[in-house]
């Protein structure tokens, strides 16, 4: 009896279904983003330690260790800047791409298959598009935060001579999405886990990381493998980051192309992801 009394004695009533639906139609993606961020908060410390620890370790190893050797050998090889200033934008972009590669693989597969977390909100007023968009919004926020921390470390190491270096935060996030969203569409299409993600990491992410003009300019590579850079979001992001970070000289049209390629990859990834979510959740 007491429970029944408690049930009827609720002070506030839920708003009407019409209001729920109207709000969900408008803000649904953000509602789902809120859920993803709450889950992320559960392992917030490890996200933070990773975001701080990774740049410090890389910048220290490359900037203090390797750079001493490289700069002593040939100071002019990297367009007149220190080796550390040369690789810092590349490391920033690569870190964002790798985080995106993690966030848009296992959690997406898990949402459909293992934990089935997408099916709960799918029964609510949210639409499949909004669930996909919400996850992307949450990951974008994580990428921005992580890149901001990374950039702070770069600045502390004195590796961002220009006053525009902070724009690298946005560039890295965009590069993360340019790589991550097509990958998200792929993850959403996988029915059985047969180790595809390990292959993606080993045979796509790693080669892109190594051959995207990260540690040496792309034009020092033979023509045969230079195409890897051209199709790589890491290369486009890195070159764009360098323009902001230390005023790297390249034809302006190339700068525009970098931006357009990143935007186009992200947009294509979004269209494919949305289609996969609508199709798979609606079955």
Partner 1 sequence: MPPSAVPEAQVQVLFHIPEGSTSLRRVHNKAIVSSSPSAGHPIKQHTVIAAQDLRKTYGDLAAVDGISFSVAAGESFGLLGPNGAGKSTTMKMIGAVTQRTSGQLSIMGLDPDSHGPEVRANLGVVPQQDNLDEELRVRDNLLVYGRYFGLPMSYLKPKADELLEFAQLTDKAKSKVDALSGGMKRRLTIARSLINEPRILLLDEPTTGLDPQARHILWDRLFRLKEQGVTLILTTHYMDEAEQLCDRLIVVDKGRIMAEGSPAQLIREHSTREVLELRFGSERNTTVGADLQGIGERLEALPDRVLIYAHDGEAALEEVTSRGLRPLTSLVRRSSLEDVFLRLTGRSLVD
Give the footprint of partner 1 on this chain (CB under 8 A).
3-4, 6-8, 10-15, 17-25, 27-28, 31-32, 34-35, 38-39, 42, 115-117, 119-127, 281-283
Instruction: Give the nearest distance from C-beta 35 to partner 1 in angstroms.
Output: 5
Q: Which helix (H) or strand (E) holds 218?
A: none
Distance CA 281, CA 187 (A): 14
Distance CA 85, CA 90 (A): 9
60 or 119: whose CB is closer to partner 1?
119
Distance CA 208, CA 205 (A): 5
19 or 155: whose CB is closer to partner 1?
19
Instruction: Give the nearest distance from C-beta 187 to partner 1 in angstroms.
Output: 18
Distance CA 245, CA 166 (A): 8
Instruction: Give the nearest distance from C-beta 4 to partner 1 in angstroms.
Output: 7
> Using the 8-state DSSP alphabet, how is residue 98 labeled?
H
Instruction: Give the nearest distance from C-beta 19 to partner 1 in angstroms.
Output: 7
103 or 239: whose CB is closer to partner 1?
103
226 or 280: whose CB is closer to partner 1?
280
Distance CA 118, CA 188 (A): 11
Instruction: Give the nearest distance from C-beta 9 to partner 1 in angstroms.
Output: 9
Contact 162, 246 (CB under 8 A): yes
Helical ranges in 104-232 per DSSP H? 106-109, 119-122, 128-156, 167-189, 196-200, 206-210, 223-231
11 or 69: whose CB is closer to partner 1?
11
């Amino acid at each position: 009896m007491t429970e029944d009394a408690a049930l009827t004695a609720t002070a506030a009533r839920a708003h009407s279904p019409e209001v729920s639906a109207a709000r969900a139609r408008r803000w649904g993606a953000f509602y789902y983003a809120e859920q993803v961020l709450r889950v992320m908060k559960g392992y917030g410390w490890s996200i933070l330690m990773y975001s701080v620890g990774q740049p410090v370790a890389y910048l220290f190893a490359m900037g203090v260790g390797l750079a001493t050797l490289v700069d002593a050998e040939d100071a002019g090889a990297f367009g007149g800047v220190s080796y550390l200033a040369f690789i810092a934008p590349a490391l920033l972009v690569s870190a964002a791409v790798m985080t995106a590669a993690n966030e848009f693989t296992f959690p997406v597969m898990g949402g459909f298959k293992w934990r089935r977390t997408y099916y709960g909100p799918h029964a609510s007023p949210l639409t499949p598009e909004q669930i996909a968009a919400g996850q992307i919004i949450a990951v974008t926020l994580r990428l921005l935060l992580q890149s901001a921390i990374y950039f702070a470390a770069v600045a502390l190491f004195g590796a961002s001579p220009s006053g525009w270096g902070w724009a690298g935060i946005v560039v890295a996030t965009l590069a993360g999405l340019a790589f991550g969203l097509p990958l998200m569409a792929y993850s959403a299409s996988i029915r059985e886990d047969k180790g595809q993600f390990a292959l993606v990491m080993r045979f796509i992410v790693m080669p892109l990381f190594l051959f995207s003009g990260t540690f040496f300019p792309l034009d020092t590579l033979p023509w045969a493998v230079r195409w890897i850079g051209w199709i790589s979001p890491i290369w486009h992001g890195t070159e764009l980051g360098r323009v902001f970070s230390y005023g790297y000289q390249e034809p302006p049209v190339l700068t525009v192309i970098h931006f357009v390629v990143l935007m186009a990859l992200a947009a294509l990834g979004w269209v494919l992801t949305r289609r996969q979510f609508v199709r798979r959740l609606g079955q």
